[in-house]
Structure 1
Amino acid sequence: MGKESNTIIGILAGTAIGATLGILFAPDKGIITRQKIADEAQLQKDRLAHTASDLKDRVAEGATDLKDRVTSTVGNKKDTFDIQLETIVTDASYKADDIISTLEKKLAILKAKNKNSQKNLIINDCF
Structure 2
Amino acid sequence: MNASKVLMGVLGGVAVGAVAGILFAPAKGTKTRKRIMKKGNNLKKDMKNKFEDVYKTVSTKYDSVLDQAKEFAGDHQEI
TM-aligned CA deviation for residue 8 of structure 1: 2.2
1:41 maps to 40
TM-aligned CA deviation for residue 4 of structure 1: 2.7
Structure having the higher helix fraction is: 1
Q: Deviation digits for residues 91-120 of structure 1, max 9, x if unmatched?
A: xxxxxxxxxxxxxxxxxxxxxxxxxxxxxx
TM-aligned CA deviation for residue 42 of structure 1: 0.6
**Whole-Å separation in 2 of the counterparts to 1:49 and 1:5:** 16
1:54 maps to 53
Code of the aligned partner of 1:14: V
The answer to whether residue 35 in structure 2 is matched with residue 31 in structure 1 is no
Q: Which has the larger Rg?
A: 1
Code of the aligned partner of 2:6: N
Q: Which blocks of at least 5 consecutive residues in structure 2 are unaligned? A: none
For these two proteins, the number of residue pairs brought into alignment is 79
* C-alpha contact 1:8 1:48 (8 A) present in aligned 2: no
2:9 maps to 9
CA RMSD of aligned residues (A): 1.6
Q: Deviation digits for residues 65-105 of structure 1, max 9, x if unmatched?
A: 010010111111122x1xxxxxxxxxxxxxxxxxxxxxxxx
Matches within 5 A, 1:65-80: 65-79=64-78
Runs of 4+ in 1 over 4 A off after TM superposition: none
TM-aligned CA deviation for residue 14 of structure 1: 0.8
**Whole-Å separation in 2 of the counterparts to 1:39 and 1:29:** 15
**Whole-Å separation in 1 of the counterparts to 2:67 and 2:42:** 37
Tell me the TM-score normalized by structure 2.
0.88
